[in-house]
Structure 1
Amino acid sequence: MVEPIRILLVDDEESIRRVVEQALSKEGFQVLCAADGEEGWAIFQKEQPELVILDVMLPEKDGFELCRLIRDDFSTPIIFLSAKSDIVDKSVGFNLGADDYLTKPFSPVELTLRVKALIRRSRKPEKPGSSRECSFRSKDLIIDCKTREVIVRGVKVDLTAKEFDLLCFLANHPGQVFTREQLFKNLWDEDYVADPGTITVFIRKIRAKIEEDPAKPRYLRTVWGVGYKFMQD
């Protein structure tokens, strides 16, 4: 008998835990629940779930601190839940290594879709010779999609998993313009429309790390009213 996929939900609102657990259990997932960050961290270490859903505002350890602890040693997909919709709050979460972000109130159906997409993507093996193995090299920027390294003006820079995936995708399609919805679909491998602010956050964070002047980007260009593109020298 196949073991169900285990998902850790950490939220101090009982009503949220109940709704999420019901929605995911109907899809065959085993949901492990915790009401605070300390309990969540203890369950994570013991059970090693395949995905974590974190509320931002938690007692004991908040969601950001718990995300940081997980990311120190694990690449487990993480979805943040928060009543905050501010782009700065999202930026913190993504910069810590979160894979997705949903603002309360949210649809249990949408959360389920995102959970399935992240698990599917985390389990998908890279195909030999795929476009993700391609590299980009200029005099001041090197992107190695196979080793997942980025070197800017001779210095290796650290990107989160989603930041790197987005940069690699754009670099492998130089000059091609993608809408934010198309980029989100590529990153999360799902058909629903995301909050456009999600891609905006990623682009801003990547520019801060690779561009000499993020306000006047050389590589990651905005095509106003459409989306973004990667420009070669």
Structure 2
Amino acid sequence: MSKNILIVEDEDILREILKDYFLNEQYKVFEASDGKEALSLFEEEEVHLVILDIMLPELDGWSVCRRIRKTSQVPIIMLTARVDEDDTLLGFELGADDYVTKPYSPPILLARAKRLLENRKLVSKSPSNDNDTLSINGIYVHFPSRIVTVDGIDINLTHTEFEILTYLMKNQGIVLTREQLITKIWGYEFVGDDRTVNSHIRNLRNKLGDKAKYITTVVRMGYKFEGDV
């Protein structure tokens, strides 16, 4: 089934270029040139991934991302012309899954979008051991529905937070380097640094509450999930 992409970009030329790349790969594309139009389209249409510029008329990308995250965990890639670490961290804190700085390569952006969609598709299937659930120390994951509960209470994770949590849990007791996490979650084409991983881990820990203690930091190496099945 064809996937639907919502491209939110106020610069007509950039939006058209991106649209052509995704159409050539047989995706269906919805376009919005401002934040209000983006939210209207998102509510009216089935959208599988959002490419969202930050600097938009009517309603900025931060606000659009925040509102989408109130009702949906659809993958979001944010675009910005500003090279600012605080902007990047804010985007991740609001629930963005990836962050691309302008000017960017459309083929690379397309590849990153494909990876987000493919990861979501793979996780929606049963894991390789044919079990569709995983439970460790009160953290319960149901893979087909992507529902995560902590002591019986649902928590809302972004696509990337879900990927990181389940990857850590499946490798319980094994130290995973930041490089391994980046390769697994974002792919080899990812352009970024360790702070991206750190930001997502921090958000994930905040949502896990008392269970955050099971994600331990291994100094100068990475992270490990500890606990008894």
Amino acid at match of 2:182: F
Residue in 1 that maps onto 2:94: 96
Secondary structure of residue in 2 paired with 1:221: strand
Amino acid at match of 1:134: L
2:192 aligned with 1:195, yes or no? yes
Q: Please state how far the C-alpha of 1:218 moved relative to its aligned partner.
A: 4.3
Following the alignment from structure 2 to structure 1, what is the Cα–Cα distance between the partners of residues 220 and 44? 47
Q: Please state how far the C-alpha of 1:157 moved relative to its aligned partner.
A: 5.5
Residue in 2 that maps onto 1:24: 22
Following the alignment from structure 1 to structure 2, what is the Cα–Cα distance between the partners of residues 200 and 131? 29
Secondary structure of residue in 2 paired with 1:98: coil
The count of residues paired between Structure 1 and Structure 2 equals 221
Change (3 A) 1:218 1:52: closer
Structure 1 stretches of at least 4 aligned residues deviating more than 4 Å after TM superposition: 128-132, 154-158, 209-212
Matches within 5 A, 1:19-58: 19-58=17-56
Amino acid at match of 1:195: G
Change (3 A) 1:47 1:157: closer
> For 1:13-72, what per-residue CA distance to the aligned partner results, in whole angstroms no more than 9, with x for missing partners?
223213312322332223322211112222223332322110112111111221233233
2:225 aligned with 1:230, yes or no? yes
Following the alignment from structure 1 to structure 2, what is the Cα–Cα distance between the partners of residues 135 and 194? 33
Residue in 2 that maps onto 1:114: 112
Secondary structure of residue in 1 paired with 2:197: helix
Q: Is the 8 A contact 1:64 1:96 kept in 2?
A: yes
Following the alignment from structure 1 to structure 2, what is the Cα–Cα distance between the partners of residues 5 and 126? 17
Structure 1: any 5+ residue segments left out of the alignment?
A: none
2:201 aligned with 1:221, yes or no? no
Residue in 2 that maps onto 1:127: 126
> For 1:111-159, what per-residue CA distance to the aligned partner results, in whole angstroms no more than 9, with x for missing partners?
010111122233333216557722111xxxx2112241124xx987554
TM-score normalised by length of structure 2: 0.80
Aligned residue among 59, 80, 104 for 1:61: 59
Residue in 2 that maps onto 1:143: 139
Residue in 2 that maps onto 1:171: 169
Following the alignment from structure 1 to structure 2, what is the Cα–Cα distance between the partners of residues 24 and 157? 32
Change (3 A) 1:204 1:88: farther
Secondary structure of residue in 2 paired with 1:48: coil
Q: Is the 8 A contact 1:132 1:168 kept in 2?
A: no
Secondary structure of residue in 2 paired with 1:66: helix
Following the alignment from structure 2 to structure 1, what is the Cα–Cα distance between the partners of residues 67 and 28? 23
Secondary structure of residue in 2 paired with 1:91: helix
Following the alignment from structure 2 to structure 1, what is the Cα–Cα distance between the partners of residues 68 and 209? 29
Q: Please state how far the C-alpha of 1:184 moved relative to its aligned partner.
A: 2.7
Residue in 1 that maps onto 2:76: 78
Q: Please state how far the C-alpha of 1:194 moved relative to its aligned partner.
A: 4.3
TM-score normalised by length of structure 1: 0.79
Following the alignment from structure 1 to structure 2, what is the Cα–Cα distance between the partners of residues 202 and 14? 32
Residue in 1 that maps onto 2:179: 181
Secondary structure of residue in 2 paired with 1:92: helix
Amino acid at match of 2:221: V
